[in-house]
Amino acid sequence: MTALQITHQRIDDIPLLLAIMVEMGIAQEIDKQIQPHGLWQGISVGTVVTIWLCYILTEHDHRLVAVREWVEERQVLFNRLLGIQLRDTDLTDDRLANVLTMLGEIENQSVLDQRFVQGWITLYELPHAVTRHDRTTVSVYQESGDEDSLIGYGHSKDHRPDLAQFKVMLSTLDPVGLPLTCRLLNGKRADDGLYIPSYDQTIATVGHRQFLAVGDSKMGAIATRAYLAAGGSYYLCAFREPAADGAELARWLETALAQETDWQAVEQVDESSGEIKTIAHLYVWERRQSQPHPQTGESFTWTERVLVGRSLALQAGLKSKREQARQRLYAELDKLAQPAKQGRKRYHHQEELAQEVTTLLDRYHLPGIVTVTLQAKPHRDGGQRWLVADYHCDEAAWQRMIDRLGWQVYLSNAPATLYADPDLLLTYRRQPRLEQGIARLKSRNLHSRPVFLHDEQRIAGLTWLLFLALRLIVLLEFRLRHQLAQRDEQIVGLNPASKNQSTDRPTTERALKAFGNITFSMIDLGPVVHYHVTPLTPTQQHILSLLNLSDDIYLRLADPQPNPLLNLRE
């Protein structure tokens, strides 16, 4: 008599991730572009990438060495879902390294980026009128190479100056935050020259140039602005004056303060209360700019708007810091008003105490605002000692300083018929969407740092693979939120601390975690094997519905001979 054997296996969000990747066409497009060596055997490169992405997204780990064992534990699951027959050697670290070499080729990345992004824009009806450009650094455990190397020492955004690094210049699609391109550069390279290549790469990826490119002050160089304007695109960037004294910006600020009647109020709806609040003020004018045309060298002239804006929240925060600085200054001056004793310095000369007061005023940035009076008093040894007699804050000077806090200058050549002045400011303030993606890449989900690889082409391939994983995360979140808004619904059960809490802004992390209790069971009776899958909860069914996916992607595992998920795309 054959002994009964029962095997249980946690499958959680793996079928969901595979179904989404099938719908996105990840494996299919990779297999179209990448043709491995003629001796390649087993599953295709695209299938390797798909399974590997499941490991990266569920385990939050990009190391190669652990993938093989993880897949072996789920071999039956992947075979039944993908209609394949996994071999023990299909996901070894050597094979994964070979895949990274192929993914690290610039031509492969460029072609795949174009096919993926343009297909997703059409498939998911993504807005594609605004792109955002920024850069970050990724630390590695290896020494810096030569001038042509990818690895170098430079200013580390990871706060690890002891480690070499490479830079990643990336562009994203607003307001979705979808990563469009990523370009790897030497870690010690300056940032200013990175924006024009990123812009060109973005044009090739999205397939057109009629978009607004948004960047920080490093994108504000006149040559970069001229290149974008001559290229037929629009730019929006913060502006920092090249001169160290900031004289031009100071004049612009004084002009804005003198024209308060011409300020525009920038309003936004408070999500917590539904109240419309003024969040900033703008003073705007236009000016003509002229530069040699990037292609022809002839004089090229265009019109740009100068937006001098003050954020009320930023002003309030800076004012609070100045208030704290003033109180700390007062505490220091109170000490100087007390008689000398052990541990407290005695000032014999007025000049000595005056220099100490000047140092304190400069330290707390309050010269000309706080006035300090000194006086001499006799000392018991027959000499004299100098003390602070009184101090006073000039309220008019204090208010003038407060009025000049929180201001920022922006430049844009976008016509007012497309973007009103307040719209430009609100567009720029969506910068956290890109920073959230960088946070997901570097720490929250994908843990791209540090990189343990040494081959630079494989480092490029791994970085591109992690960006592909980030694209999946961003698109999944966009689709969930978009569908909830379209249906005027909220989803319940994503917060483990409050199962009854509802939200219309779910995150990918919470949505995937909601599938963390699904088990796939195999009951081996000898001649017959029965399969069972944990029934889906209402929350899980709701998520699948929002993604236009059937719960059959899980239930099919219980069929004796299930159809593979690849049939979803047919």
DSSP 458-509: HHHHHHHHHHHHHHHHHHHHHHHHHHHHHHT--EES--TT-TT-EESS--HH
- Mean pLDDT of the chain, nearest integer: 88
pLDDT tens, position by position, 154-196: 777 667 777 778 888 889 998 898 999 988 887 777 777 789 9
Indicate if 201 and 281 belong to the same structural domain: yes
How do 212-215 and 234-238 pair as beta strands? parallel
* Within a domain: 473: no
Indicate if 87 and 35 belong to the same structural domain: yes
pLDDT for position 442: 78
Beta pairing partners, 6: 523
* Within a domain: 337: yes
| Interior angle at CA 225, CA 224 and CA 229, nearest 5 | 120
* Within a domain: 9: yes
> In whole angstroms, what separates CA 466 from the centre of its chain?
13
Indicate if 224 and 126 belong to the same structural domain: yes
* Within a domain: 515: no
Examine the pLDDT at 366 and tell me if it is beyond 90: yes
Distances, alpha carbon 3 to alpha carbons 521, 522, 530, in Å:
16, 14, 14
How far apart are the C-alpha atoms of 442 and 446, rounded to whole Å?
6
Indicate if 354 and 283 belong to the same structural domain: no
* Within a domain: 451: yes
Indicate if 176 and 284 belong to the same structural domain: yes
CB 294: neighbour CB atoms within 10 A?
A: 15
Indicate if 3 and 127 belong to the same structural domain: no
Indicate if 417 and 295 belong to the same structural domain: yes
How far apart are the C-alpha atoms of 162 and 241, rounded to whole Å?
32
Choose the final residue of a domain: 368, 403, 438. 403
* Within a domain: 562: yes
How far apart are the C-alpha atoms of 363 and 72, rounded to whole Å?
62
- State how many domains the chain has: 3
For residues 140, 143, 149, 153, the Cα torsion angle rounded to the nearest 10 degrees is 70
pLDDT for position 382: 67
pLDDT tens, position by position, 256-279: 999 999 999 999 887 777 788 999
Copy the structure tokens of residue 105.
Answer: 């080729």
pLDDT tens, position by position, 289-303: 999 998 888 899 999
Choose the final residue of a domain: 403, 419, 436. 403
Strand order in the sheet with 234-238: 178-186, 164-174, 130-140, 212-215, 234-238, 407-412, 299-311, 276-292, 264-269
How far apart are the C-alpha atoms of 251 and 89, rounded to whole Å?
68
Indicate if 137 and 190 belong to the same structural domain: yes
Indicate if 90 and 130 belong to the same structural domain: no
How far apart are the C-alpha atoms of 155 and 243, rounded to whole Å?
22
* Within a domain: 250: no
pLDDT tens, position by position, 220-242: 999 999 999 999 999 999 998 77
pLDDT for position 368: 92
The answer to whether residues 284 and 264 touch, using CB atoms and an 8 Å cutoff, is yes
> Residue 283 sits in a domain of what CATH number?
3.90.350.10
- The one-letter code for the residue type at 20 is I
Indicate if 348 and 429 belong to the same structural domain: no
State the DSSP string of 195-264: HHHHHHHHHHHHS---SEEEE-GGGG-HHHHHHHHHTT-EEEEE---SSTT-HHHHHHHHHHHHTGGG-E
pLDDT for position 566: 62
Whose structure tokens read 């394949």?
A: 84
From 517, 563, 569, select the one nearest 548 (Cα to Cα). Answer: 569
Range of the domain at 362: 316-403
The answer to whether residues 179 and 146 touch, using CB atoms and an 8 Å cutoff, is no
Using the 8-state DSSP alphabet, how is residue 442 labeled?
A: I
* Within a domain: 484: no
Copy the structure tokens of residue 389.
Answer: 């007699």
The answer to whether residues 132 and 179 touch, using CB atoms and an 8 Å cutoff, is no
Indicate if 92 and 121 belong to the same structural domain: no
Task: Give the lowest-confidence range in 17-31, 285-299, 434-448, 515-529.
Answer: 434-448
The answer to whether residues 112 and 204 touch, using CB atoms and an 8 Å cutoff, is no
Examine the pLDDT at 570 and tell me if it is beyond 60: no
Whose structure tokens read 């502006």?
A: 239
How far apart are the C-alpha atoms of 512 and 516, rounded to whole Å?
7
Beta pairing partners, 281: 265, 310
Indicate if 232 and 93 belong to the same structural domain: no
How sure is the predictor about 569, in pLDDT bands with cuts at 50, 70 and 90?
A: very low
CB 340: neighbour CB atoms within 10 A?
A: 14
- Between 241 and 492, residue with greater pLDDT: 492
What average pLDDT does this structure show over 115-130?
93
pLDDT for position 153: 75
pLDDT for position 105: 93
What average pLDDT does this structure show over 302-308?
96
Report the sign of the C-alpha dihedral through residues 338, 339, 345, 346, in that order: positive
Give burial (CB, 10 Å; 0-12/13-18/19+) of 444: middle
The answer to whether residues 106 and 182 touch, using CB atoms and an 8 Å cutoff, is no
The answer to whether residues 536 and 518 touch, using CB atoms and an 8 Å cutoff, is yes
